[in-house]
Amino acid sequence: MNPILRTFGLAALGALVFIAIGLVVPAWFLFTMTKAVGFGLVALGLVGLLRGGLLSFGQGLYYCGGAYVSGLMANWAGVTDMIVLLSVGCIAGGLIAALVSPLVARYRGIFFAMLTMALSMVAYGVLTKIAAIGGSDGFNVPKPTLLGYHLAETGFGLYAIAVVIAALAAAVCRVHFDSGLGLIASAARENELRIEYLGASVFSVSTRSFILAGGLAGLGGTLNGVALGHVDPFFSYWTTSGEMVFIAILGGYASVTAVFGTALVTELVRSFSGQYFPESWQMLLGIFLLLVIVFLPRGVGSMWAKPAKNHAIRSIKEPAT
Amino acid sequence: MDLIFTILLDGLIYASWLFIVALGLTLVFGVLKILNFAHGGLYALGAYGAAIAVPFFAGLGMPEWFSLLAMFIAAAAVAILIAPLIERGLLRYFYGRDEVLILLITYAVFLILEDVTKMIFGVNPYYVFEPRNLLGNVEMGSLFYVGYDLALIGLAIVCGLGVWFGLNRTRIGKITLAVIKEPEVSQAMGVNIARIYLLAFGVGVFLAALGGAFTSPLISVQPGNSVSVIVVSFAVVIIGGLGSIPGAAIGALIVGIARAFAVYELPEAEIFIIYLVMVAVLIFRPEGLFTPIKARKI
Amino acid sequence: MSGAVLEVKGLMKSFGALVAANNLNVEVMPAARLSLIGSNGAGKTTFVNMVTGYLKPDAGQVKLDGKDITRLPPRLITRAGLGRSFQIPQLCEAMTPVDNILVALEIAGDGGSVFRPARTKGSLDRAVEMLERFGLERYAGRPVNELPGGVRKLIDIAMSLASRPRVFLLDEPTSGVSTEEKFPLMDKVMAALEGERSAVIFVEHDMEIVTRYADRVLAFYSGEIIADDAPDEVLNDPAVQKYVTGTAR
């Protein structure tokens, strides 16, 4: 059987199982799972970047971009159909990523991480100042519809949509990672000079992963904006991006489904720790991040078992004298 | 004319604390090849340290001028308490690993520091006014400047020259330069690399904390400052070129003056002008202004 | 029309006060076996790096099949038909030899596609076949960073050959390779190139390799080509003996 069809078949099966699970769990858990899918989508994009050796500390920007553009469309144009909103959010995230990629895709390593973070903080700062879209308060997002029907108050409808989107995204990423292009991206993580001398452009490889990650983040932002019924500049804040990184690292880069699991666990721990240890969420994240890096190096850290690399692709061209 | 002068002087003052902090960041990167994300958290600790130390020493009946010394003591205390903990306790196990992995580790440290700081000092702001009133006002043309602010410029110059002198004119500094260039060879020749790394990291932490301590009279010391500090000082060192001391100075000046210009002429742009400058520099020189372009041996 | 596949005209490069390439002129015919010799710092590697796009020359021109490739980025030079191997093997270290070759074949093919899985029976067969040509099949499944130097050199060369270059530059193929391994290594490289009518240019310090595999030798000294002829002629040239091989009496 064609491996691509097989992947999508499995995804469809998985989606059906999770929709069935949604019928029996309580409403608060449906809501948590929906939100976890939103975070998981962003983390999935990060996994794609990590496979290519890129770590972004600023995925909040594309997450926020998707949420804002789709949310504004719902408010200003009165479009509440989830299919339209998700498409618009996905395109918005990808488009913003495409706009910044000429700057950031030249870099790797710490430069890429810090530049993406700086950009997301700029967006955060700018959004807090624009009064027309709510400034630092953000704005509310209307209740969603699907093909003319209102989605039930229980949140089951939105959850089902989230599951379908998650399955679709995981399948697309699996196919991409296993494809020739995916292999070339992993090779670029290992040795970009070699890839250039084989005749491929590392810049294009990075740009592609970056735009894909931006699109997925836009999708996640739209989903969570609608689920929460509210978006604000905090979507682009560094803590948001940091949580996505945490979820992606915890999930590891080998699997396309693990991120949704780790996103759910992270969400659950967050809501419990919010009740019992209100001021220690960041610390918990930090401690767990260290534990994962130290004790789960395989799958999580195996991609880093290699010497450090040059930051700018262009910096390898001329020698110092 | 007055406006240009104001912008330049304000920019210089802003550049001063930026330089002190960025100097620590670039020094640690230069020696340990680590981009220390926790640098911003250490800056915050320095500010809190000053907010505790200044009233503490005043309570002991020390003279007013001692508050300046108290800020130094606070920064040194942060460096002595925290640097060995982070460097010996954690970072040293990851030397030679991928720089992104180490960035993640320092990021984790930063997250922990954030909440620990909140637990210790609470979320309410602290204010430290005393040192800023100490040096009086200085009249320049039609404008008055707080003497303390101008003294910051002097402090930045002292820090820069101090690090330069320490690296180029002392025995330990020359050994450090050798370690930067050839870590393996230095180690083979009997250099105690661990000591050099701890020392460099300690100086880096001290500079971060010093920047925080001496900024504390200008701001309200409260949670949430640290992230913008790491992002802005990264912008500074990336403009100048990571690991370069003159680069950090030029980067701080460019960023400081650009920001002062925005404050007076383009207030809407204040929050992002720093990044705009950074992007503009990177478009033309992706490695920053002062990094010698390295060729990898192939 | 000279019929040369590679033409280098007036290539210049200096690093500060050091002139690393001073007016280099070379024409290489198809199927040539050209060796570059010279002591360290004579300008061989600078020449290779300029021709393959790693360094930008200050002046001069490089033409491949009449097409100007001067100052093009490496990937476009590779696509134009000029390949190179590296003195220090450039491999994807955590990957296996098979994956390294798969990457090379993907890029040499259509540059990779989302719709075609990387590991199909066909692609794996081709990668293993490539490894067999170099006698490397028994190493297929181990990460390349665990493999010995000679094997790594051959994988590096095999990857560069995936694009079937018309001109192939080898930068010190036998450096870091043991004395027993060096002839088998060169034999395998030459056998792999057999029938391709590729011109081969190799930088070499080992005169045994030079006399055995080259039909023409360029001797570099201080950024200039001081001799360009058949191996016997060049190695008997007094200037070459004085400055390059050190065999002058």
Can you give the CATH number for the domain in which B94 is found? 1.10.3470
Q: What is the pLDDT of residue B295?
A: 57
Residue whose C-alpha is closest to residue C119's, from C99, C96, C89: C99
Chains that touch A (3 or more CB pairs under 8 A): B, C
Q: What is the pLDDT of residue C248?
A: 59
From CA A145, how far away is CA A82, in angstroms rounded? 6
Nearest CA in chain C to A173: C114
Question: Any CB–CB contact under 8 A between B22 and chain A?
Answer: no
Give C183-231 as a DSSP string. Answer: HHHHHHHHHHHTTTT-EEEEE-S-HHHHHHH-SEEEEEETTEEEEEE-H
Residue whose C-alpha is closest to residue A217's, from A94, A119, A116, A49: A94
Closest partner residue to B101 (CB to CB) among A121, A286, A293 is A293
Which residues of chain A from 191 to 210 reach within 8 Å of chain C, CB to CB? 191, 193-201
Tell me which chain B residues have a C-beta less than 8 angstroms from the C-beta of C88: 297-298
Q: How many other CB atoms sit within 10 Å of the CB of residue B127?
A: 12
Looking at the structure of chain B, the number of domains it has is: 1
From CA B144, how far away is CA B2, in angstroms rounded? 12
From CA A283, how far away is CA A285, in angstroms rounded? 5
From CA B89, how far away is CA C107, in angstroms rounded? 45
Tell me which chain C residues have a C-beta less than 8 angstroms from the C-beta of A310: none
Question: Any CB–CB contact under 8 A between A107 and chain B?
Answer: yes
Tell me which chain A residues have a C-beta less than 8 angstroms from the C-beta of B266: none
Q: What is the mean pLDDT of chain C?
A: 88
Q: Helices C97-108 and A180-190 sit at what angle, rounded to 10 degrees? A: 120
| CA atoms lying within 13 Å on the CB side of residue A191 | 23
- Classify C167 as helix, strand or coil: strand
Interface test with B, best of A49, A101, A112, A122 (most B CBs within 10 A): A122
Q: What is the CA radius of gyration of chain B?
A: 19
User: How many percent of chain C have pLDDT more than 90?
Assistant: 40
Tell me which chain B residues have a C-beta less than 8 angstroms from the C-beta of A308: 33, 98-99
Tell me which chain C residues have a C-beta less than 8 angstroms from the C-beta of B297: 87-88
Mean pLDDT within C146-171: 91
Is B296 within the bounds of a domain?
no
With b for 16 or more beta-carbon neighbours within 10 A and e for fewer, the B176-185 pattern comes to beebbeebee
Q: What is the pLDDT of residue B188?
A: 85
Residue appearing with tokens 């770590």 = A55
- Classify B91 as helix, strand or coil: helix
Per residue of chain B (298 residues), what is the pLDDT tens digit?
678 888 888 899 989 989 999 999 999 998 888 899 999 999 999 999 998 888 888 888 888 788 888 899 999 999 999 999 999 989 988 888 888 889 999 999 999 999 899 888 888 888 887 778 777 777 777 777 788 888 889 999 999 999 999 988 888 888 888 888 888 888 888 888 888 999 999 999 999 999 999 988 888 888 877 888 888 888 888 888 888 888 889 999 999 999 889 888 888 777 778 888 887 887 777 777 776 555 566 6
Question: Any CB–CB contact under 8 A between C90 and chain B?
Answer: yes
Q: How far is B294 from chain C (nearest CA, A)?
A: 12
Q: What is the pLDDT of residue B296?
A: 64
Contact yes or no for A234/A67 (Cβ under 8 A): no
- Domain that includes residue B68, residue range: 2-284
- Which residues are CB-neighbours of B291 under 8 A, at least 6 positions away? A315, B241, B242, B243, B244, B247
From CA B106, how far away is CA B104, in angstroms rounded? 6
Chains that touch B (3 or more CB pairs under 8 A): A, C
From CA A198, how far away is CA A188, in angstroms rounded? 11
Mean pLDDT within C91-113: 90
Which residues of chain B from 104 to 133 reach within 8 Å of chain A, CB to CB? 104-105, 107-112, 114-116, 118-119, 123
Report residue C81 as tokens: 């038909």
β C33-37/C216-221 pair status: parallel
Q: How many other CB atoms sit within 10 Å of the CB of residue A99?
A: 12
Which alpha helices (H) appear in B60-123, and where do they start and end?
66-89, 99-121
Q: Is the dihedral of CA A305, A310, A311, A313 positive or negative?
A: negative
Residue whose C-alpha is closest to residue C71's, from C86, C91, C51, C90: C51
From CA A212, how far away is CA C188, in angstroms rounded? 42
Residue whose C-alpha is closest to residue A256's, from A175, A187, A179, A180: A175
Is B120 within the bounds of a domain?
yes
Judged by CB atoms closer than 8 Å, whether chains meet at B282 and A103 is answered as yes
With b for 16 or more beta-carbon neighbours within 10 A and e for fewer, the C121-136 pattern comes to eebbebbbebbeebeb
Tell me which chain C residues have a C-beta less than 8 angstroms from the C-beta of B298: 49, 54, 86-88, 90, 171
Judged by CB atoms closer than 8 Å, whether chains meet at C113 and A197 is answered as no
Q: How far is A278 from chain B (nearest CA, A)?
A: 10
Q: What is the pLDDT of residue A298?
A: 52
Question: Any CB–CB contact under 8 A between B298 and chain C?
Answer: yes
Is B298 within the bounds of a domain?
no
Closest partner residue to A305 (CB to CB) among C94, C107, C159 is C94
Question: Any CB–CB contact under 8 A between A73 and chain B?
Answer: no
pTM, two decimals, is 0.88
Q: What is the pLDDT of residue A56?
A: 93
Quote the Cα angle for B178-B181-B186, to 5°.
45
Phi, psi of C56 (to 5 degrees): -95, 125
Amino acid type, B111:
L
From CA A133, how far away is CA C133, in angstroms rounded? 65
Query: C44 to each of B293, C37, C170, C171, C224, how far by Cα in Å?
Result: 21, 7, 11, 9, 9
Is B32 within the bounds of a domain?
yes
Q: What is the pLDDT of residue A1?
A: 66
Is B122 within the bounds of a domain?
yes
What ipTM did this prediction achieve? 0.91
Mean pLDDT within C71-93: 92
Interface test with C, best of A7, A178, A186, A190 (most C CBs within 10 A): A190
Per residue of chain A (321 residues), what is the pLDDT tens digit?
688 888 898 888 988 999 889 888 888 889 999 999 999 999 999 999 988 889 999 999 999 999 999 999 988 888 888 899 999 999 999 999 999 999 888 888 888 888 898 889 888 888 888 888 888 888 988 888 888 777 767 788 899 999 999 999 999 999 999 899 999 999 998 899 999 999 999 999 999 999 999 999 999 999 999 999 899 999 998 889 989 999 998 888 778 888 888 899 888 888 888 777 777 888 888 998 888 888 876 544 344 434 333 333 333 333 333
Report residue C141 as tokens: 């499944």
Which residues of chain A from 267 to 286 reach within 8 Å of chain B, CB to CB? 279-283, 285-286
Judged by CB atoms closer than 8 Å, whether chains meet at A118 and B96 is answered as no
Q: Find the helix or strand (DSSP H, E) in which C64 lies.
A: strand C59-64
Model confidence over B127-146: pLDDT tens digits?
887 778 777 777 777 777 78
Q: What is the pLDDT of residue B83?
A: 92
Q: What is the pLDDT of residue A309?
A: 37
From CA C117, how far away is CA A7, in angstroms rounded? 12
From CA C101, how far away is CA C106, in angstroms rounded? 8
Judged by CB atoms closer than 8 Å, whether chains meet at B108 and A126 is answered as no
Interface test with A, best of C72, C106, C163 (most A CBs within 10 A): C106
Contact residues of C toward A, CB < 8 A: 15-16, 18, 52, 54-56, 73-76, 78-79, 83-84, 90-95, 99-100, 102-104, 106-109, 111-119, 145, 159-160, 162-163
Report residue A247 as tokens: 């979820």
Tell me which chain C residues have a C-beta less than 8 angstroms from the C-beta of A303: 94
From CA C194, how far away is CA A303, in angstroms rounded? 38
Residue whose C-alpha is closest to residue A214's, from A77, A49, A26, A53: A49
Contact yes or no for B298/A193 (Cβ under 8 A): yes
Question: Any CB–CB contact under 8 A between B297 and chain C?
Answer: yes
* Model confidence band, residue C149 (pLDDT cutoffs 50, 70, 90): confident
Q: How far is B298 from chain C (nearest CA, A)?
A: 5
Tell me which chain A residues have a C-beta less than 8 angstroms from the C-beta of C82: none
Question: Any CB–CB contact under 8 A between C87 and chain B?
Answer: yes
Model confidence over A194-216: pLDDT tens digits?
999 999 999 999 999 999 999 99
Q: How many other CB atoms sit within 10 Å of the CB of residue A120?
A: 28
Contact yes or no for B221/B41 (Cβ under 8 A): no
Mean pLDDT within C41-61: 90
Q: How far is A312 from chain B (nearest CA, A)?
A: 7
Q: What is the pLDDT of residue A256?
A: 86
Tell me which chain B residues have a C-beta less than 8 angstroms from the C-beta of C49: 298
Judged by CB atoms closer than 8 Å, whether chains meet at C90 and B298 is answered as yes
Q: What is the CA radius of gyration of chain C?
A: 18
Question: Any CB–CB contact under 8 A between B228 and chain A?
Answer: yes
Residue whose C-alpha is closest to residue A60's, from A303, A231, A196, A249: A231
Which of the two residues, B58 and C11, has the higher pLDDT score? Answer: C11
Which alpha helices (H) appear in C84-216, and where do they start and end?
97-108, 121-133, 149-161, 179-193, 207-213
Distance of CA B37 to the CA centre of its chain: 12
